């Protein structure tokens, strides 16, 4: 087997707690499908037959009961449950399932919505025999107003500095702004090997990684690595240019450093073990080189290589903030051609449902209601004379007559009282908005939830 897919669905959605305090992030509805459906669909479309899903118990239950997930997803899902309380990082999760991993792996995050041609990423992995191959995309500016945000978007998102070589495929440098206190430091060895480097900052990491099996073995030996994105990837990118095993390192002579060195060198040992003499011979005889201008052979003789595929066009969203969630809801319905109004929804004659809205199954929409550019979830009841513009209504919501909802997100099982006027608000799960209320730019959540940080 060539690749095993691992879907990381245990994350808590820490950056959009208002949405996720009641519903786990993988089950948030986007375009009337649970968020986890999108990566599963991507894997299925490409040809995977089995996926290892690492998630919590609640999501596991939903995977077996949710209609959409059960019928649409034809792959075999091997669900591994982890406790919610243990703060497991993605790398810890990989270590947890180490027994199941027999070949190279493709790690996907549950909040990725994309229509990328996955073979571009995997081809880099295959052709260059890379240790790591990942997907990045140009960041799309979010144009929709986000409820609850006061003033302009604060640049809370720390930038990622990504350095690639001239071809734009080889990953030379990766660091997050938070780690660069004194400034961006480039090692001379990198500059000597790749004199031309392009550093990009406007890129979004899609959290889709192809990793070699030896990396998983390395994780098992080095228990200090907890997160793939935060620690493992920058480490691998740095390790491409570190001194090889053969050259003696005069500066590190203390034993502790030696042990660390040994542990870190394990990675190279593990990845070079397989290089057969025939492969060596083929590479020697081949008249190809990946760079020009110096005397070294292809890949500078390095065994560890990291590649990145940067998507120029196409859809790629990571739903980990409220703004991204809203944007994804706008765009995701284009990914599949479901009819915009579900056949089981009851839409009366005199109501107006715009063509860019989608109505989920078992909805009830009564007269004189107008719905424009909105997503309405499952089993929602919308009474007469309601105007819904640019909003996201999740499942089981009841909206009484005469309401006016604009640019808002209404979570599961909320009730909006009669005649309420809601603009750019987020109504949390199960909340009630009293009739004739007028809310603008507010986050309405229960008082017990306010204590959650």
Partner 1 sequence: MADSDGRQIDSINHAADGDGKGHGIVRAKTEGKELTKEEKQRLRKEKKQHKKNKKDDKVPTEKEKEKEKPSVQAPSKPVTQSPTHKAAPVPVSASASESLAAAEKPVKTKAELRAERRARQDSERTSKQGKKEGGQQSTTSKPKASPSELQPVVKRLPEHVQVDDPAALKKLAKKLERQQVPLRSDYGYKVSLFSHLHQYSRKNPPTQQISIPATVIHPSVVRLGLQYSQGIIAGSNARSVALLHAFKQVIQDYSTPPNEELSRDLVNKLSPYISFLSQCRPLSASMGNAIKYIKKEISNIPSQCKEEEAKGKLQECIDSYVNEKIILASEAISKYAIEKISNGDVILVYGCSSLVNHILCDAFEKQRKFRVIVVDSRPRLEGREALRRLVKKGIRCTYVLISALSYILPEVSKVFLGAHALLANGYVMSRVGTSQIALVAKAYNVPVLVCCETYKFCERVQTDSFVSNELDDPDDLIVTRNGKTHLENWQTVKSLGLLNLVYDVTPPDFVDLVITDLGMIPCTSVPVVLRVKNVDQ
Q: Give residues in contact with partner 1 (CB under 8 A).
A: 1-5, 46-49, 106, 117-119, 122-123, 126-129, 276, 278-279, 281-289, 292, 295
The least CB distance from residue 405 to partner 1, in Å, is 42
Those residues with Cβ within 8 angstroms of residue 447's Cβ, 6 or more apart along the chain or in another chain: none
Those residues with Cβ within 8 angstroms of residue 278's Cβ, 6 or more apart along the chain or in another chain: none
The least CB distance from residue 300 to partner 1, in Å, is 13
CA angle 267, 273, 279 (to 5 degrees): 125
With contact defined as beta carbons under 8 Å apart, do 347 and 353 qualify? yes
How many whole angstroms separate alpha carbon 143 and alpha carbon 334?
Answer: 18
3-class DSSP state of 386: coil
How many whole angstroms separate alpha carbon 104 and alpha carbon 102?
Answer: 7
The least CB distance from residue 316 to partner 1, in Å, is 17
With contact defined as beta carbons under 8 Å apart, do 328 and 113 qualify? yes
CB nearer to partner 1: give 123 or 356. 123
Tokens, residue 21: 């305090």
Beta bridge partners of 7: 53, 108
CA angle 382, 147, 404 (to 5 degrees): 30
What single DSSP character describes residue 97?
T
Strands (E), 123-253: 132-138, 160-164, 171-176, 198-200, 203-211
How does DSSP assign 183-218, residue by residue? Answer: -----HHHHHH-S--EEE-SEEEEEEEEE-HHHHHH
The least CB distance from residue 48 to partner 1, in Å, is 6
CB nearer to partner 1: give 138 or 283. 283
CB nearer to partner 1: give 47 or 195. 47
How many whole angstroms separate alpha carbon 173 and alpha carbon 189?
Answer: 12
How far is residue 404 from each of residues 95, 328, 358, measured CA to CA in Å?
A: 50, 23, 18
The least CB distance from residue 115 to partner 1, in Å, is 14
CB nearer to partner 1: give 245 or 281. 281
The least CB distance from residue 329 to partner 1, in Å, is 28
CB nearer to partner 1: give 171 or 225. 171
CB nearer to partner 1: give 3 or 315. 3
The least CB distance from residue 166 to partner 1, in Å, is 12
CB nearer to partner 1: give 254 or 286. 286
The least CB distance from residue 130 to partner 1, in Å, is 11
CB nearer to partner 1: give 115 or 442. 115
Would residue 323 be called left, alpha or beta, if left means φ above 0 and alpha means ψ between -120 and 50 degrees? alpha
The least CB distance from residue 251 to partner 1, in Å, is 29
CB nearer to partner 1: give 3 or 263. 3
């Amino acid at each position: 087997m060539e690749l095993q897919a691992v879907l990381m669905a245990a994350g808590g959605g820490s950056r959009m707690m208002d949405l996720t305090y009641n519903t786990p992030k993988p089950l948030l509805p986007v375009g009337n499908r649970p968020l986890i459906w999108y990566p599963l669909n991507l894997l299925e479309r490409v040809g995977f037959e089995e996926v290892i899903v690492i998630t919590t118990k609640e999501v596991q239950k939903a995977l077996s009961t949710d209609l959409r997930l059960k019928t649409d997803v034809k792959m075999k899902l091997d669900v591994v449950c982890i406790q919610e309380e243990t703060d497991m990082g993605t790398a810890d999760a990989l270590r947890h399932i180490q027994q199941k991993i027999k070949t190279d792996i493709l790690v996907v995050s549950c909040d990725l919505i994309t229509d990328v041609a996955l073979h571009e990423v995997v081809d880099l992995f295959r052709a260059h025999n890379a240790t790591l191959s990942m997907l990045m995309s140009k960041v799309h500016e979010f144009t929709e107003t986000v409820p609850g945000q006061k003033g302009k978007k604060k640049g809370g998102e720390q930038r990622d500095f990504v350095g690639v070589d001239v071809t734009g495929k080889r990953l030379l440098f990766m660091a997050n702004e938070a780690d660069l206190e004194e400034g961006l430091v480039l090692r001379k060895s990198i500059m000597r090997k790749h004199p031309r480097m392009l550093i990009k900052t406007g890129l979004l990491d899609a959290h889709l990684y192809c990793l070699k099996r030896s990396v998983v073995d390395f994780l098992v030996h080095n228990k200090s690595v907890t997160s793939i994105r935060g620690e493992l990837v920058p480490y691998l990118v740095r390790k491409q240019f570190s001194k090889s095993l053969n050259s003696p390192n005069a500066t590190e002579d203390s034993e502790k450093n030696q042990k660390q060195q040994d542990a870190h060198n394990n990675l190279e040992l593990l990845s070079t073990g397989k290089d057969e003499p025939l492969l060596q011979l083929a590479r020697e005889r081949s008249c190809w080189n990946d760079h020009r201008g110096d005397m070294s052979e292809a890949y500078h003789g390095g065994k560890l290589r990291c590649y990145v595929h940067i998507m120029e066009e196409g859809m790629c969203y990571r739903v980990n903030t409220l703004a991204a969630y809203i944007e994804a809801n706008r765009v995701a319905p284009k990914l599949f051609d479901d009819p915009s109004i579900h056949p089981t929804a009851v839409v009366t004659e005199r109501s107006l449902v715009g063509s860019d809205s989608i109505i989920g199954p078992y909805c009830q929409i009564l007269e004189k209601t107008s719905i424009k550019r909105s997503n309405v979830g499952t089993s929602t009841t919308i009474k007469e004379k309601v105007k819904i513009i640019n909003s996201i209504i999740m499942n089981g919501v009841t909206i009484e007559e005469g309401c006016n909802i604009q640019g808002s997100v209404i979570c599961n099982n909320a009730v909006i009282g009669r005649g309420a006027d809601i603009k750019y608000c987020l109504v949390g799960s199960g909340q009630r908005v009293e009739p004739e209320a007028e809310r603008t730019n507010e986050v309405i959540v229960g008082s017990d939830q306010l204590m959650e940080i």
